Structure 1
Amino acid sequence: MDKIKNQTRPVFPFTAIVGQEEMKLALILNVIDPKIGGVMIMGDRGTGKSTTIRAIADLLPKIEVVTDDIFNSHVSDYDLMSDLVKQRIEDDLKISTQFIKVPMVDLPLGATEDRLCGTIDIEKALSEGVKTFEPGLLAKANRGILYVDEVNLLDDHLVDILLDSAASGWNTVEREGISIRHPARFVLVGSGNPEEGELRPQLLDRFGMHAEIRTVKDPSLRVQIVEQRSSFDRDPYSCIEEFKNKQNELKNCIILAQQQLSNVVIDYDLKVKISQICGMLNVDGLRGDIVTNRAAKAFAAYQNKDEVSIEDIRRVITLCLRHRLRKDPLETIDSGTKVDQVVNEILV
């Protein structure tokens, strides 16, 4: 118990969150395979979006980083390593490492481009010939989670930068002919309330998955949520202790899934069915096909399987496609229901 109390701010346990299965599954799958491309969580106010996102970051196993490196560089994976660390390896210099909690970075709504991307000290570069880089939030988020609350209210230009970095895994800062590039591989999580406006379709399409959450209507479930939260607020450490075993169980499950992921295969016929569904739904581009294939593999790995089944695809496909459908103002049917109808037609 004392060990737990050494934590800074206690975080609500992920396994203690009641309901909101769609959001929890989308987050778990993105953590298993960050290449899915992040998740957009849209829903009512007060439905635990921020709590759930902080809880998944807290649940994850610690990562090994190069000591004193501002980019959380990996010690052996070149794609997750800064140029400085690569240089040190080439020069045969000794590199020490340490284990840190998975970075969880919040992007405030009023953030500037410099705050997000980082800045180069031009004066120092010109007078001393030294490239001095002040890291931004993208550098801090490398190998972690970058969370944007109210992403639909964020400046479109910043959303573009975010999505470009999330897709490429790199951030480049250029000023006065001086350029610095660093790894920025993170799980991008955006949340918002649809009442405050939607994201532009071309930006929405860049998020791998889209989870919709609604306020729980069932009175007994509502009571359970309120009691759970009250119990945590009263004594967070007892609540953390109570869910310790479940947390460890889920953590181990995620680690195994990450290891299993590269072994998972998906049958050619199933790939054809996924593309058939995307075609029938008039999904623009091929991003929907790619993300659905990735998410289905991650879900299979999560269940410790080495082959994707039709059921795995059923579980993830709505999350991957509902935000990619063309909006028809005269359409009365919900986009998720539309996906389900086509899925039931093809996946038999």
Structure 2
Amino acid sequence: MPVSQRSQSRVFPFAAIVGQEEMKLALLLNVIDPRIGGVMIMGDRGTGKSTTIRALADLLPGIEVVAGDPYNSAPDDPDLQSSEVRQRLDHGETLPVEQRQVPMVDLPLGATEDRLCGTIDIEKALSEGVRAFEPGLLAKANRGLLYVDEVNLLDDHLVDVLLDSAASGWNTVEREGVSVRHPARFVLIGSGNPEEGELRPQLLDRFGMSVEVRTVRDPELRVQVVDQRTRFDADPDGFASEVAEQQATIAARVVEARERLGSVQLDPDLRIRISAVCGELDVDGLRGDIVTNRAARALAALEGRSEVQESDVARVVACCLRHRLRKDPLEQIDSGDRVVKVFCKVFEQAEPEDMEAFQLALAS
């Protein structure tokens, strides 16, 4: 069951968010399969990026953790346990368990490496012989979401640390010969405005998916967004009650998709054609192939199917590959449109005349 107590924090419901279907889908797929590698969301200011991410955390079901553990250690999964918890289990101790909401951690722009990774009290470690470790934000984010707004303005070194931890699932802090290692498995979500600078290509490539969000131009949709926000601000609890059934349905689909994911099959022919798309686009490395495969499987699981279809690949391929393309400053075509054109060529589908309409049709 979702942790409904979060309604007290007045989070706008995920089910009530209008538009931005590509962003919402990318976020859902990453919580179904965190191995996809996170989401980079680039777009205009005021397009609901932060609102949607916080709504996602509020949507997710609670997790069981070892009571009092600062790393949100799982009671029954060694890969998600701190060394202290494993030692207690090795000594035969029965650990108390409690239910917690999925952690949602914001990384402020001014954060230091110590704030992110944690600090070791060297003096205490040397004088008392104990590992005096103060956990950082990576520890708090374990088994949850780590959100970095304006990630393109974050120091590159910190971005490297984030991406390394997100990829390995562990955070290691070493100071003066003292080393501490703890689990740090989280869905990394970055957002930013391209007008304020872009990430280096080699860093951008390590985000599993990339989404471009734009300001809604349709007048009726804009009015709908404004009306919903006004109603929510006036009566958060009443508004949440109106969409509670839809919210519960989405949450249940996510839980079922996680359970189904391991049994979803991806036909060898589809895998070959996915790799053909990556080759045709001159995508460096194999991350694009791997992420597209994982995202397509997660989407099939979300849709309640045990086998990936071409339409699943069509819906995720642009998000998985657009940020991995080599940029040509003289080329006018949007990178997502380039991906769609090559997809249509490899999958022998008619190329759409209106790319935006094509994406909207896939999302509906």
TM interval, shorter chain, is: over 0.9
Give the equivalent residue in structure 2 for 1:157: 157
CA distance in 1, matches of 2:224, 2:287: 39
Give the equivalent residue in structure 1 for 2:17: 17
The 3-state SS of whatever aligns with 2:9 is coil
Change over 3 Å in CA distance of 1:7–1:342 after alignment to 2: closer
CA distance in 1, matches of 2:266, 2:6: 44
The 3-state SS of whatever aligns with 2:98 is strand
The 3-state SS of whatever aligns with 1:68 is coil
Q: Answer whether contact 1:257 1:304 (CA < 8 A) is retained.
A: yes
Give the equivalent residue in structure 2 for 1:204: 204
Give the equivalent residue in structure 1 for 2:44: 44
Give the equivalent residue in structure 1 for 2:233: 233
Q: Answer whether contact 1:4 1:237 (CA < 8 A) is retained.
A: no
Change over 3 Å in CA distance of 1:269–1:4 after alignment to 2: closer
The 3-state SS of whatever aligns with 2:274 is helix
CA distance in 1, matches of 2:246, 2:155: 39
1:134 and 2:134 aligned: yes
CA deviation vs aligned residue, 1:147-204 (integer Å, no higher than 9, x gap):
0000000000000000000000000000010000000000000000010011000000
The 3-state SS of whatever aligns with 1:173 is strand
Q: Answer whether contact 2:43 2:213 (CA < 8 A) is retained.
A: yes
Q: Answer whether contact 1:74 1:80 (CA < 8 A) is retained.
A: yes
Q: What does 1:165-314 align with in structure 2 at a 5 Å threshold?
A: 165-314=165-314
The 3-state SS of whatever aligns with 1:28 is helix
What one-letter code is carried by the residue in structure 2 that aligns with 1:68?
A: G
Q: Answer whether contact 1:121 1:132 (CA < 8 A) is retained.
A: yes
CA distance in 2, matches of 1:236, 1:180: 43
Q: CA deviation at 1:295?
A: 0.2
CA distance in 2, matches of 1:8, 1:224: 24
Give the equivalent residue in structure 1 for 2:34: 34
CA distance in 1, matches of 2:231, 2:131: 51
Give the equivalent residue in structure 2 for 1:77: 77
Q: CA deviation at 1:332?
A: 1.1
TM-score normalised according to structure 2 size: 0.94
Q: Answer whether contact 1:5 1:237 (CA < 8 A) is retained.
A: no
What one-letter code is carried by the residue in structure 1 that aligns with 2:301?
A: A
Q: Answer whether contact 2:39 2:211 (CA < 8 A) is retained.
A: yes
Give the equivalent residue in structure 2 for 1:333: 333
Q: Answer whether contact 1:124 1:132 (CA < 8 A) is retained.
A: yes
What one-letter code is carried by the residue in structure 1 that aligns with 2:261?
A: L
Give the equivalent residue in structure 1 for 2:353: none
CA deviation vs aligned residue, 1:88-146 (integer Å, no higher than 9, x gap):
11111110110000000000000000000000111111111111110000000000000
CA deviation vs aligned residue, 1:199-218 (integer Å, no higher than 9, x gap):
00000000000011000000
CA deviation vs aligned residue, 1:15-66 (integer Å, no higher than 9, x gap):
0000000000000000000000000000000000000000000000000000
What one-letter code is carried by the residue in structure 2 that aligns with 1:229?
A: R
CA distance in 2, matches of 1:46, 1:72: 33
Change over 3 Å in CA distance of 1:220–1:8 after alignment to 2: same
CA distance in 2, matches of 1:43, 1:339: 19
Unpaired segments ≥5 residues, structure 2: 349-364
Q: CA deviation at 1:6?
A: 8.0
Q: Answer whether contact 2:75 2:81 (CA < 8 A) is retained.
A: yes
Give the equivalent residue in structure 1 for 2:105: 105
- Quote the RMSD (CA, aligned, Å): 1.1
Change over 3 Å in CA distance of 1:122–1:257 after alignment to 2: same
CA distance in 1, matches of 2:315, 2:246: 23
Give the equivalent residue in structure 2 for 1:121: 121
Q: CA deviation at 1:8?
A: 3.9
What one-letter code is carried by the residue in structure 2 that aligns with 1:306?
A: S
Give the equivalent residue in structure 1 for 2:86: 86
Q: Answer whether contact 2:7 2:237 (CA < 8 A) is retained.
A: no
CA distance in 2, matches of 1:338, 1:241: 42
What one-letter code is carried by the residue in structure 2 that aligns with 1:61?
A: P
What is the aligned length?
A: 346
Change over 3 Å in CA distance of 1:6–1:78 after alignment to 2: closer
Range with greater deviation from structure 2 (120-129 or 315-324) = 120-129
The 3-state SS of whatever aligns with 2:108 is coil
What one-letter code is carried by the residue in structure 2 that aligns with 1:166?
A: A
Give the equivalent residue in structure 2 for 1:321: 321
Moved over 6 A (4+): 3-6
TM-score normalised according to structure 1 size: 0.98
Change over 3 Å in CA distance of 1:332–1:5 after alignment to 2: closer
CA distance in 2, matches of 1:347, 1:94: 55
Q: CA deviation at 1:5?
A: 7.5
